[in-house]
């Protein structure tokens, strides 16, 4: 009881409605009481039990072990009082039948054969026969031999540097290291350059011994650790490759599907991942020019670009088929605004055990559901409908969440928020990304929750941002991108892609957030992301899981019960103004001085004035709260483009999208910025016009709020 009383004191002291910058009313005394009752429920011990159960077996998407985790989650949803269903989809997936790599020198001498099995001393989980060989999903099969070219991280700048060095990748196998961009972009750029295939390895400079002690003696990647992952071109569209824009229902006939060979989200060249131990003999024997200084990795010899010195025989036999995956959906009906949905989700499938990614998120979500279940038992009912989603096949391309969102697109027109968590806990440093309208909302929630390390989550968040993390791991997925800083408060990143908020926000315009608590995490997507690693390196007493359950669940409870939606459009307008100013400078540098920004800047100013006006009106209760809230939501929907982005129409948001050449990181005002990057004046003019139209539509929506 003492712990409960102390928690209530912390929650009460943390509340400060003056901190908010949104249009919403302060949380009422009765709502505070509900929130405090919720926050007292999530339990560290139970969260640890969830995690241990979920990570007991490898559970790659579409496996029987994956279905077992769906049943476990469904059972917990039902126990909490949620209306629960397991929803199947039939999607195009590959498993590896055979993966072989042989490297030889100029004389034909064998330098390595692989892949080497992942192994360290003393890990109890690593020898499970159900572990699937490390592979890249969406890769085609191949049987090819070619010379090797090293291309650093495989960014556009790296491929340009190779061209400047007169190193031709055409017909070569490109060896790249993980980090800086999404692995699918590495393959895409190599494909555009005419490469025969791609091998992706984890360099110790980025997440291995150069960072610190490796597992099992520390958190970083050991010599044989491999980062699996999808190379689907999710920057084209995520989800099932054969059903872009529509749900891949189990009974959908193949005649209504896009043939896999015509799916533009699928690479046409093969790719496979390897460890640094397997990459070392290839790198060590490459000849050709010495690499630029910033291309040098952590291995103790000089890197060269090739080609020359090494040939690789790559044999990949992929087993492609339509396979069944399973989302788990749990709902609670709303009492006052039943058509307005609050959706929250985390994916459940893992490449192997997935203790951090994603099972820490699932464990946290289950304790959030536990808290809501206790509220339901006490007689509480939310004002809005709550939907929890446990998504499947996220790792292969955000598939489960995308199919469900596409199936429920009409209902999601009235969704007021989507709250995401994925890598919920890999360490103690809280972070968040969000649409600008909800950045202050996330800060406000963080003020309310006690940190596992003392004080509040907000306090810990602010402290961790004040000092740069020495344990930062450059693995490409966990970068938080800030494109405009308009406040001295803690930074909240912008939403790019790589997790399940993508279909909700960038396709359907549902305001979204994404939260996590990070730390040195060198075993991402390897067999060593298991329960043993977690309790040694991330969260031995599971109090960080408890913390994340509280934050995640409080987002849901507060949004489900609040009257006027807590959207902050003033921040949105301020950030867009900075995006335009930055783009204008970039256009000048690109020699596009005649590109006119006047109409878009004027529309932004109108949007800003409308945002200021609606924020003032939101300080007094609206006579028609549902109508007022719909106007707020309409403003976000107005920023969607009917035709989507050039070359990738699935992405409809005019302000945020994953970059075509970054994949994870957000590109702001993407239609305009990517046209400038391409030095395509005609396209830039067209996209500038569409942006201005979208901003004017959003301003009109805010101006019409009553």
Nearest to 399 by CA among 272, 287, 244: 244
- The β-bridge relationship of strands 229-230 and 136-137 is parallel
- Catalytic residue selected from 118, 280, 340, 394: 394
Running DSSP on this structure, what letter comes out for residue 619? T
- Start-to-end CA distance of the chain, whole Å, equals 46
Q: How far, in Å, CA of 92 to CA of 21, rounded?
A: 45
Q: Which residue has the tokens 């203790």?
A: 355
474: tokens are 């450059």
| CA count, 13 A, side-chain hemisphere, 154 | 35
Residues 6+ apart with CB under 8 A from 513: 417, 418, 419, 420, 432, 433, 434, 435, 438, 441, 442, 501, 555
Q: Is 552 helix (H, G, I), strand (E, B) or coil?
A: helix
Q: How far, in Å, CA of 162 to CA of 195, rounded?
A: 13
Residue 285 and residue 107 in contact, taking contact as beta carbons nearer than 8 Å? no
| CA count, 13 A, side-chain hemisphere, 163 | 12
| CA count, 13 A, side-chain hemisphere, 544 | 26
Helix axes 360-377, 543-561, angle to 10 degrees: 50
DSSP for 635-698 reads: HHHHTB-TT-BTTBTT--BSSEEE-TTTSSSEEESHHHHHHHHTT-HHHHHHHHHHHHHHHHHH
Q: Is 394 a catalytic residue?
A: yes
Q: How far, in Å, CA of 118 to CA of 126, rounded?
A: 7
DSSP for 578-595 reads: HHHHHHHHHHHHTT-TT-
Nearest to 179 by CA among 235, 131, 119, 221: 221
| Region of residue 656 (phi > 0: left; psi between -120 and 50: alpha; otherwise: beta) | beta
**Sequence-ordered strand ranges (E) for 135-285:** 136-137, 142-150, 173-177, 197-201, 229-230, 271-274
Nearest to 73 by CA among 388, 325, 328: 328
542: tokens are 């599971």
Q: How far, in Å, CA of 264 to CA of 243, rounded?
A: 11
DSSP for 299-322 reads: SSS--B--SSS-EEEEEEEEEEEE
Q: Which residue has the tokens 């005394």?
A: 29
Residues marked active site are found at 394
């Amino acid at each position: 009881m003492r712990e409960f009383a102390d928690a209530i004191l912390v929650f009460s002291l943390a509340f400060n409605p003056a901190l908010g910058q949104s249009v919403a009313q302060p949380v009422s005394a009765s709502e505070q009481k509900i929130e405090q009752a919720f926050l007292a429920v999530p339990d560290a011990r139970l969260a640890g039990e969830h995690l241990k159960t979920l990570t007991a077996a490898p559970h790659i998407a579409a496996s029987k072990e994956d279905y077992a985790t769906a049943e476990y989650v469904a059972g917990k949803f039902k126990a909490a009082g949620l209306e629960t269903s397991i929803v199947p989809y039939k999607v195009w997936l590959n498993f590896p039948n055979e993966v072989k790599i042989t490297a030889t020198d100029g004389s034909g001498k064998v330098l390595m054969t692989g892949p080497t099995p992942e192994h360290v001393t003393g890990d109890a989980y690593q020898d499970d026969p159900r572990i699937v060989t490390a592979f890249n999903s969406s890769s085609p099969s191949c049987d090819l031999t070619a010379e090797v070219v090293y291309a650093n991280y495989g960014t556009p700048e790296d491929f340009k540097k190779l061209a400047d060095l007169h190193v031709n990748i055409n017909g070569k196998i490109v060896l790249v290291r993980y980090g800086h961009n999404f692995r699918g972009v590495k393959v895409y750029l190599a494909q555009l350059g005419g490469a025969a295939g791609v091998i992706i390895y984890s360099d110790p400079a980025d997440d291995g011994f150069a960072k610190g002690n490796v597992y099992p003696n520390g958190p970083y990647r050991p010599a044989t650790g491999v980062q699996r992952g999808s190379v689907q071109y999710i920057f084209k569209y995520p989800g099932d490759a054969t059903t872009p824009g529509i749900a891949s229902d189990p009974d959908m006939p193949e005649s209504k599907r896009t043939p896999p060979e015509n799916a533009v989200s699928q690479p046409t060249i093969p790719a496979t991942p390897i460890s640094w131990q397997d990459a070392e003999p290839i790198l060590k024997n490459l000849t050709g020019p010495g690499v630029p200084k910033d291309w040098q990795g952590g291995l103790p010899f000089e890197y060269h670009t090739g080609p020359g010195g090494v040939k690789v025989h790559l044999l990949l036999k992929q087993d492609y088929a339509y396979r069944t995956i399973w989302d788990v959906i749990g709902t609670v009906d709303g009492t006052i605004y039943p058509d307005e949905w609050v959706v929250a989700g985390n994916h459940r499938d893992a490449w192997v055990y997935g203790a951090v990614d994603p099972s820490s998120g699932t464990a946290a979500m289950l304790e959030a559901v536990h808290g809501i279940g206790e509220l339901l038992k006490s007689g509480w009912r939310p004002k809005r409908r709550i939907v929890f989603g446990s998504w499947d096949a996220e790792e292969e391309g955000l598939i489960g969440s995308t199919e469900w969102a596409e199936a429920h697109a009409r209902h999601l027109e009235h969704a007021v928020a989507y709250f995401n968590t994925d890598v919920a806990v890999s360490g103690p440093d809280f972070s968040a990304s969000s649409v600008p309208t909800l950045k202050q909302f996330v800060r406000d929630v963080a003020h309310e929750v006690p940190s596992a390390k003392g004080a509040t989550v907000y306090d810990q968040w602010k402290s961790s941002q004040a000092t740069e993390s020495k344990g930062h791991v450059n693995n490409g997925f966990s970068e938080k991108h800030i494109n405009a800083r308009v406040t001295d408060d803690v930074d909240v990143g912008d939403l790019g892609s790589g997790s399940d908020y993508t279909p909700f926000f960038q396709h359907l315009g549902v305001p979204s957030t994404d939260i996590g608590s990070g730390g040195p995490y060198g075993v991402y997507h390897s067999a060593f992301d298991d329960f043993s690693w977690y309790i040694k390196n991330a969260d031995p007493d599971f109090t960080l899981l408890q913390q994340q359950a509280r934050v995640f669940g409080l987002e849901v409870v507060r949004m489900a019960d609040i009257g006027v939606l807590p959207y902050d459009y003033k921040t949105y307008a301020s950030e867009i103004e900075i995006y335009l100013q930055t783009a204008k400078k970039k256009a000048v540098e690109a020699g596009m001085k005649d590109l006119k920004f006047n109409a878009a800047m004027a529309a932004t100013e109108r949007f800003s004035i409308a945002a200021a006006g609606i924020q003032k009106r939101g300080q007094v209760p609206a006579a028609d709260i549902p109508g007022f809230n719909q106007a707020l939501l309409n403003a976000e929907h107005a920023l969607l483009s009917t035709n989507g982005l050039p070359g990738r129409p699935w992405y409809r948001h005019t302000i945020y999208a994953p970059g075509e050449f970054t994949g994870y990181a957000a590109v702001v005002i993407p239609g305009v910025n990517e046209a400038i990057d391409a030095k395509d004046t005609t396209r830039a003019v067209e996209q500038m016009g569409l942006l201005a139209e979208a901003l004017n539509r959003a301003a009109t929506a805010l101006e019409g709020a009553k």
